[in-house]
Amino acid sequence: QCAIDPDSIVTDACTSYSDLERLNADLAPSLDDLTQKTDFFAYYRLNLYNKVCPFWNDESSMCGNRACAVETIEDESDIPLIWRAEELSKLEGARAKHPGLAQQRERPKDRPLQYQLGANVDESCVLEDDDECDQRDYCVPEDEGAAAKGDYVSLVNNTERYTGYSGLGAKQVWDAIYKENCFTPQPARHASLKPKPLQAAASLKNVFQEYGRQHVDNSDDQYPLDDECLEQRAFYRIVSGMHASISAHICWDYFNQTTGEWVRNLDCYKERLHQHPERVSNLYFNYAILTRAIAKLRRHLESYTFCSGDTAQDFQTKQKVLELADRAAAGPHTFDESVMFQDPSVMDLKDDFRSRFRNVSRLMDCVGCDKCRLWGKVQTAGYGAALKVLFEYDETKNGENPHLRRTELVALVNTLGRVSHSLDTIQKFRHAVNTGDMSV
């Protein structure tokens, strides 16, 4: 068995792809059931509209704002309104309002979690304090900071697919995300993005200069340098794997603006994924990470209370999650997190890694398309939760591990659901390329 350690490139030769594909065939029905058919996992609470991009002045660069909309309309003026990128990006379905303050059950801040939760009140029932950000978090909590805690959005009604969001706005976000991978040697740590508006963001050119980019050019992927350590390469692989998964969904559910049909776009797959095996490898890497996190959570989930107010439904949801965790745990050992952050010389790196990943999650507020921002937030939160479980949890302990918020668990399962679906689509696309049978 070829274990996927963070240092290895997954290749067909070591059969890891097929190991993971077999595992995926086993987990997919369970994941589908959870994400599509349970209320707990089908809705996500987030602050989608009220946060501003903390890194640059988004009015100068965001798609979805006036400046970008002009470009979009110019590009798309020949097609009906309903097919335009702005329309495709919009959220669908009713949004449930977050319960008001009166309905929220406060928990005292100064007591450990296990004492705050009475017999009938468990973690998924408690609404988190606004500003409570655990230092062990790898992600900015979705309910962080804002007075309004956001709304519940249906993930089922808003599938991740082609939206037409592209151009400078999207490029700028991806660039900034990959820029977070530029770890600097000691002592000049934390030289990454600072969450403040850039003073000189009056034009896109300035923004790119600020990030050390020459200009907007879609050249090569920003690979980590050869001398970067295992943890830094893992960081890059997670981000690149997330990007690959988004690309897979764009190609799988692609809108042909000429015919007005939703299609499988094989050329899109070839260009974005097939011709870049390392991107595909990073996607499989992420699958390995996420399944390991779910398996590691098995014990924690046993005492987790699902809290929808409907006891029968909560019982079923719990059974389904436990089944997923059981299956993940029974599969191959997909990822060995114990090899990371072990070398004494890289101990500080963990803080750096964590704060950089938090920045990636903050960058989601710079995504100028509602649906993309929704899924960007879900997935960064999902990877953040997985990293927290991998690096901060001890699976032999119960009750002493860090708190896992409801939003984190929902994001983790949905992110695995997305990557699981990406693996499936890539297998189908790959089959089409290999056999010449284009009927995907």
How many Å apart are CA 362 and CA 140, to the nearest integer? 7
Closest CA to 382 of 155, 89, 95: 155
Residue 256 CB, shortest distance to ligand FAD, in Å, is 13
Residues 144-173 that bind ligand FAD (CB under 6 A): 160, 162-163, 165-166, 170-171, 173
Q: Which of residues 74, 110, 220, 227 is near ligand FAD by CB under 6 A?
A: 220
Stretch that binds ligand FAD, among 20-28, 52-60, 131-139, 218-226 (CB under 6 A): 218-226
Q: Which is nearer to ligand FAD, 23 or 244 (CB)?
A: 244
Stretch that binds ligand FAD, among 337-345, 347-355, 366-374, 382-390 (CB under 6 A): 366-374
Q: Which is nearer to ligand FAD, 30 or 265 (CB)?
A: 265
How many Å apart are CA 319 and CA 39, to the nearest integer? 14
Active-site residue 2, yes or no? no
Number of residues that bind ligand FAD (CB under 6 A): 24
214 binds ligand FAD (CB under 6 A): no
**Dihedral in degrees, nearest 10, Cα atoms 231, 237, 243, 245:** -120
User: Long-range contact list for 29-37, CB < 8 A, 24+ apart?
Assistant: 30/320, 30/323, 30/324, 30/327, 31/324, 31/413, 31/416, 31/417, 31/420, 32/417, 33/320, 34/317, 34/320, 34/321, 34/324, 34/413, 34/417, 35/155, 35/156, 35/413, 35/414, 35/417, 36/156
Stretch that binds ligand FAD, among 48-56, 138-146, 284-292, 369-377 (CB under 6 A): 369-377
How many Å apart are CA 105 and CA 127, to the nearest integer? 7
Residue 286 CB, shortest distance to ligand FAD, in Å, is 10
- The string of DSSP letters for 190-253 reads --S--SS--TTTTSHHHHHHHTT--S-------PPPTT--HHHHHHHHHHHHHHHHHHHHHHHT
Active-site residue 125, yes or no? no
Site string for ligand FAD, 222-261 (x = CB under 6 A): ------------------x--xx-xx--x-----------
With both helix axes pointing from N to C terminus, report the angle between 406-435 and 230-252 in degrees, rounded to the nearest 10.
Answer: 70
279 binds ligand FAD (CB under 6 A): yes
Stretch that binds ligand FAD, among 49-57, 74-82, 94-102, 367-375 (CB under 6 A): 367-375
Q: Which is nearer to ligand FAD, 371 or 421 (CB)?
A: 371
Q: List contacts with ligand FAD (CB under 6 A).
A: 160, 162-163, 165-166, 170-171, 173-174, 218, 220-221, 240, 243-244, 246-247, 250, 279, 367, 371-372, 375-376
Supply the residues annotated as catalytic: 369, 372
